[in-house]
Amino acid sequence: MAYEDEGSTVYSQPVTDWVNDWDWLDDQWGTDAVDIWNAVREVTPMAMTERYGRAFMPVTMDAVSAIAKDTVNFSSRFVSVAQPDAKRRPAPPITSDPPDHKDHRRLLLPSFAPRQIEPMENELREYARGLIEQLDGRDTADAAAEYSQHIPVHGIAQMIGVPDDDADIFRDWIYRNFQLAPRDNRIREQVTADMRAYFGELLDARAADPKDDLATLITEAEIDGEPVDRELKLGYLLLLILAGIDTTWSAIGSGLWHLGSNPDDLSRLKGKPFDDPIWLTMSEEVLRFYAPVTMGREVIGDTEISGCPVRKGEQVLVTFPAANHDPEAFERSDEFLIDREVNRHVAFGLGIHRCLGSNLARLEMNIAFQEWCAAFPDYRLDPAKETTWTNGQIRGPREIPVILR
C-alpha cells in the first residue's frame, strides 16, 4: 500500500509478510531483524518485495556470497535499495564496478592500512576516556548518545580533516540518507545537495591551502597521471563520512547493548587485561551477531540465485547480517559466543568491495569496549527505559539507557 505525496511514493504500511513483501525501513527491522531473517530462511533463500520496484533479499550465506562475488550480473551503481527512478551519483569505490573500481580503491587503501591506523590508538583511547570522564558522578547514562556515537565521528573526522564540531551535521545527513531517502527521492536530492555543498567548500579550501589529511589527498588525486574528476572527489568524501560513522557507531552500540543485557558475558571481561584475546573474539562476535550493514545492488544481467530467477533492472539487498546467522555457515549460529574461535563472518562484506575501513572500525570497537567495561564493570540496561534501534541500511541502537553502577 502506498500514498502519493506530491509526486513521491511513500510506503507506510507495516510488513505482515516478510517473504513476499519485505521492507528494510519497517519498524520491526530495527528490533527483530535476526528473527525475521531466520524465519524467512525456513521458507526461502530469497525473499522479495515490490515496494521499491521488484527487489530481492537473500538470507543464506550461499546466496549473499554468490551475489557479492558476481560483478557481471550485479552492479554496485545502486548501493541502496530505493525507488527505481532515484538519481544515483557516484561514490567510488563503493558504487564502482570493474574495471574502474580497482583504481579508486587503490587510491584510498593506503590511508586505511594498519600502519596508518594503529598509531591512532593512543589518541582515540584518550578521547574515549574523556567521554567517560564526562559521566563522572552519574548513576545513569545513554551509552549510545553519550558514548558510542562520538568515537567513530572523532576517528574519521580527524582522518578527513573536518571538525568534530560538525558531528550534528554529519548525523543529520546520515539520518536523512539512510532512514528517509530510500522511500523519497526528494529527500535523497536535498541531502545530497547539502553534502556536496559542504565537501565542495572543503575541496576548494584544500586546493588553496593543502594539509596532511584525506581531504587534501582527495583534492590532489590523480589516476594514471590525470586529475580525478571533481564529481568523483565529492563522491569519495561523501562515502568516507557516511561509511565511517554510522557503521561503527552501530557496532559499538550493539556490543554495549549486548553486554548490558547479558551479565554473564560482561563478567567474562571483568578485570581482563587489554591484550587478552577475549576482547578480540568478543568484537568479532559482535560483528557477526549484530552486523550493522546491508548493501544494495542493481541487477544488470538475467541470472539465477539459489534457484530464484532475477532479471535485469531489478534490485537486490545483499543482506550480509542475515548470512551471519545462517546455521549452514556457523555452528550454534543463534548463540552469541564471546570466545568463538572460528568466526568467518561477512559483516565487512566479501568480494571486491570488502570494507576498506575494517582496521579503523576494529580499533575503534576494541577501544570503546575496553574503556567502557573498565570504567563500568557492572553496568546494565535500565529496565525502566527502552533501547531504540534504527532500521534500514545501517542497523543499530540509537538510545541505550543504562545504569552505570
Residues that bind ligand HEM (CB under 6 A): 68, 76, 79, 93-94, 105, 156, 239-240, 243-244, 247-248, 251, 291-293, 295, 320, 347-349, 353, 355-357, 360-361
Contacts of 107 (CB under 8 A, 6+ apart): 217, 221, 223, 228, 236
Would you say 236 or 379 has its CB closer to ligand HEM? 236
| Residue 6 Ramachandran class (φ > 0 left, ψ -120 to 50 alpha, else beta) | left
Shortest Cβ 370–ligand HEM spacing (Å): 16
Would you say 36 or 355 has its CB closer to ligand HEM? 355
Map residue 185 onto helix, strand or coil. helix
Would you say 141 or 293 has its CB closer to ligand HEM? 293
Would you say 48 or 94 has its CB closer to ligand HEM? 94
Could you list the beta-strand ranges (E) of 151-274. Answer: 222-223, 226-227
Shortest Cβ 5–ligand HEM spacing (Å): 30
Shortest Cβ 106–ligand HEM spacing (Å): 10
Would you say 120 or 361 has its CB closer to ligand HEM? 361
DSSP state of 176: I
Map residue 55 onto helix, strand or coil. strand
Q: How many secondary structure helices (H) and strands (E) does the chain include?
A: 14, 16
Shortest Cβ 270–ligand HEM spacing (Å): 24
Shortest Cβ 132–ligand HEM spacing (Å): 21
Nearest residue to 159 via CA among 120, 214, 115, 209: 214
Shortest Cβ 335–ligand HEM spacing (Å): 20
Cα 185 from Cα 88, distance rounded (Å): 10
Would you say 141 or 160 has its CB closer to ligand HEM? 160
Contacts of 101 (CB under 8 A, 6+ apart): 76, 92, 93, 352, 353
Shortest Cβ 400–ligand HEM spacing (Å): 16
Do strands 303-305 and 222-223 pair parallel, antiparallel, or not at all (unpaired)? unpaired
Cα 105 from Cα 190, distance rounded (Å): 27
Would you say 26 or 97 has its CB closer to ligand HEM? 97
Residue nearest to ligand HEM (CB): 357
**Grid-cell match 552505570, residue found:** 404
Is there a contact between 236 and 104 (Cβ–Cβ < 8 Å)?
yes
Nearest residue to 253 via CA among 281, 221, 302, 291: 291
**Hey, which residues does 401 pair with through a beta bridge?**
142
Neighbours of 199 (CB within 10 A): 23
Would you say 41 or 297 has its CB closer to ligand HEM? 297
Shortest Cβ 211–ligand HEM spacing (Å): 18
